[in-house]
């Protein structure tokens, strides 16, 4: 019944791990998978968090145009008001 709910942290954790380790090749598919799965739910926090992860990944990859698109999407979303993860995303 709540399988989707438990899957969210299981998708988030590896994306964060690879990003923190600087292994962007491993982080990208994990972050994209997290976004795809999270967008299938109506849970606001889990729908907003993958945008943050993907924007941070794009920033780490020096893909400023992609980072800007992702960050703009997050800013326009009312869900972003619920996030207080302490991340600073410079684009």
Check if the beta carbon of residue 33 is closer than 8 Å to that of residue 53: no
Q: Alpha carbon of 19 to those of 25, 32, 52: distances in Å?
A: 9, 13, 12
Number of domains in the chain: 1
Using CA atoms, how far apart are residues 82 and 91, in angstroms rounded to an integer? Answer: 21
In a domain, 65, yes or no: yes
Per-residue pLDDT, 88: 56
In a domain, 87, yes or no: no
In a domain, 91, yes or no: no
Structural domain range at position 34 = 3-82
Neighbours of 41 (CB within 10 A): 14
Check if the beta carbon of residue 70 is closer than 8 Å to that of residue 51: yes
- 44-62 tens-digit pLDDT: 778 888 989 999 999 999 9
In a domain, 27, yes or no: yes
CA angle in degrees (0–180, nearest 5) for 9-29-49: 40
In a domain, 25, yes or no: yes
Among 54-58, 71-75, 79-83, name the one with the lowest average pLDDT.
79-83
The structure's pTM equals 0.78
- 2-52 tens-digit pLDDT: 677 788 889 999 999 999 999 999 999 999 999 999 888 877 778 888 989
In a domain, 22, yes or no: yes
Per-residue pLDDT, 89: 53
In a domain, 89, yes or no: no
């Amino acid at each position: 019944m709540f399988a989707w709910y438990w899957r969210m942290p299981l998708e988030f954790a590896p994306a964060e791990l690879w990003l923190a380790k600087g292994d962007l090749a491993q982080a990208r598919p994990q972050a994209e998978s997290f976004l795809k799965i999270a967008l299938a739910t109506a849970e606001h926090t889990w729908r907003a968090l993958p945008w943050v992860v993907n924007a941070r990944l794009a920033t780490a990859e020096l893909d400023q145009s992609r980072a800007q698109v992702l960050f703009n999407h997050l800013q326009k979303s009312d869900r972003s008001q619920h996030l207080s993860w302490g991340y600073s995303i410079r684009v």
